[in-house]
C-alpha cells in the first residue's frame, strides 16, 4: 500500500489528567476536529472503555458530537470554554491537553511537518511521548 504524501496534518490526542496520552490519532488537515476525535475514539474504543467524561474545547460543541461519543464509549462530553475575557488565564481542565501539546513542541521533528506521511508522523508523536516519559518519570 502506497500512502500519499500530504502537506497538512492534525494531531488528535486523548490524555488523562496527568497529560499522559491514552489515544493518538493523526489525520490530514482537511478533517474537522470533531470527525478526527470520533475516528480516534472509534480506533481506541477498547482502551477508553473506562472513561466517564470527555473534557474538550469549544470546537467540539454540538449535540451530534456528544451523542456520538456517548454511543462509542459511553462517556459524557463536557465543553470547557475559554474565559470570555481577552487575557491569559490558566484553565485547569484545559491545561492537561495544552501541556501535552507543549511537550510535543519540544520535539524538533514535530515543530514542522517533515515526515509528510501520516503513519510516520504518528510514530514520531509516539516516540516524542516516550522521550517525555523517560525524562519526567
Per-residue pLDDT of the chain in tens (137 residues, 90 and over written 9): 445 556 688 889 999 888 889 999 999 889 999 999 999 999 999 999 899 999 888 888 889 999 999 999 999 998 887 665 556 666 667 778 888 888 888 887 776 766 678 888 889 889 989 988 888 76
Helix, strand, coil percentages for the chain (3-state, nearest 5): 40, 15, 40
Q: Which CATH class is domain 9-136?
A: alpha beta
The domain spans of the chain are 9-136
Q: Provide the whole-model pTM.
A: 0.81
Distance CA 24, CA 41 (A): 9
Q: Which three cell numbers stand for residue 55?
A: 473534557
Q: Where are the beta strands (DSSP E) in 75-114?
A: 76-79
Amino acid at each position: 500500500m502506497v500512502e500519499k504524501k500530504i502537506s497538512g496534518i492534525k494531531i488528535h490526542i486523548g490524555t488523562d489528567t496527568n497529560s499522559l496520552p491514552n489515544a493518538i490519532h493523526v489525520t490530514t488537515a482537511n478533517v474537522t476536529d470533531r470527525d478526527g476525535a470520533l475516528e480516534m475514539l472509534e480506533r481506541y474504543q477498547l482502551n477508553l472503555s473506562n472513561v466517564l467524561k470527555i473534557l474538550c474545547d469549544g470546537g467540539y460543541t454540538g449535540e451530534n458530537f456528544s451523542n456520538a461519543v456517548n454511543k462509542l464509549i459511553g462517556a459524557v462530553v463536557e465543553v470547557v470554554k475559554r474565559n470570555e475575557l481577552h487575557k491569559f488565564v490558566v484553565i485547569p481542565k484545559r491545561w492537561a491537553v495544552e501541556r501535552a501539546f507543549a511537550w510535543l513542541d519540544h520535539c524538533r521533528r514535530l515543530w514542522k511537518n517533515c515526515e509528510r506521511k501520516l503513519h510516520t508522523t504518528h510514530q514520531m508523536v509516539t516516540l516524542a511521548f516516550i522521550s517525555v516519559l523517560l525524562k519526567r518519570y
